[in-house]
Amino acid sequence: MKKFNLNALLIGVLCSLIFISCEKEPIENFESSQQDFSKDLKVCIEKWDLDGNDFSKAATLKSKQWNPGQTIRVKFLNGNSFVQSKVKQYAKQWESYANLKFEFVSSSSSANIKISFREGQYANDGGSWSYLGTDSNSYSPSMHFGWFNNNTSDAEFSRTTIHEFGHALGLIHEHQNPVAGINWDKDAVYAYYAGAPNYWSQAQVDNNLFRRYEASVSNYSAYDPQSIMHYPIPAEHTLDGFSVGYNNVLSATDKSFIATVYPGDTGGGDICDGVAPYVSGASYAVGDKVTYQGQLYERTSTGWRNLGACGTISSDICDGVQEYVSGRSYAVGEKVTYQGSLYERTSTGWRNLGRCGS
């Protein structure tokens, strides 16, 4: 993977403004979007549907949402002060966009969400999971983090904590969105998840990856591969090479959608929350985000895309996306706007992701 210094960042910003396609860029400006997923995909287990047989619960997703404006009480059942502080830090990312508050209380207090870590009586649970929405009231623990320790990176704390608290707010897995249309290589996926560290049966794989929710109960109207609620997908798990990296921050759609689920005054928010500043000389993969001189940038296959000024909340799925240019070549995964809608390039054509302004 190539390294990009400060000059490369500035050049990349200029390139993104004119939306040059990857076929038009010199080869030395490319950076691979592939990550090494082959050893240890750390993914969330659907805890609210353990048996993989009772799919009727999906019809009650909306009934499991909290009340807008509610204060949700959270407590830790175990874990040291360091991992607890990291969970608090990243869980609160949701508060900037959802009209809800998390109140962290002592372990002896009553709470809605009860969190455990992989130690003591929970030492044999190496997974990470959360019950869905208000189901959390009925279980203890209701959320578990199976791989956090003092050596966990901030990116991993961010990715997993925000994801699990998304479930606690009622959000489903994004790859199970009814319009996702992922072209899975099912044999490869079954084979992978049958081994360590998951040891899943085919029924568990079906339930956690392939099953898609009905449109009437889906949390998103448009498929969002950048969602914090998406599993990472290596290219070898699809028939067309489609892949999704380790999303570790809230996407623009995550932010705008959760605001519609829990509407009301959140006291403001910042699209740069949880995003680290740009580091000169560091390597960045396609999809990575950084802050630089008060702006949020996303790494693309052609450079850096400006997503807006820090301190603002985007409510438009088309923000930061350039208009379609006839005659230009576009790579799979690139997005454009056309006649007031957002489109994503796929291996077979263009996928409509919804109307701008939504």
pLDDT in tens, 10-32: 444 434 333 322 222 221 221 22
Residue whose token pair is 């084979």: 191
**Residue 200 belongs to some domain of the structure:** yes
Whole-model pTM? 0.63
Measured CA to CA, the distance from residue 245 to residue 18 in angstroms comes to 25
Residue 282 corresponds to which tokens in the numbers above? Answer: 């560091």
Q: Is residue 178 part of a domain?
A: yes
> Measured between alpha carbons, how far is 242 from 221 in angstroms, rounded to an integer?
21
Specify the CATH number for the domain of residue 206: 3.40.390.10
96 vs 271, residue with greater confidence: 96
Q: Residue 237 has what pLDDT? A: 95
Mean pLDDT (whole number) for 155-176: 90
Residue 247 counted as domain residue:
no
- For range 228-235, the mean pLDDT: 90
Instruction: Compute how many other C-beta atoms are within 10 angstroms of the C-beta atom of residue 263.
Output: 12
The domain of 190 spans 44-217
Is residue 279 one of the residues assigned to a domain? no
Residue 228, in any domain of the structure: no
* Predicted local distance difference test score (pLDDT) of residue 55: 36
Give the total number of structural domains in the chain. 1
Residue 16 lies in a domain: no
Return the higher-pLDDT residue of 59 and 336: 336
The set of residues, in sequence order, having a beta carbon less than 8 Å from that of 340 and lying 6+ positions away, is 355, 356
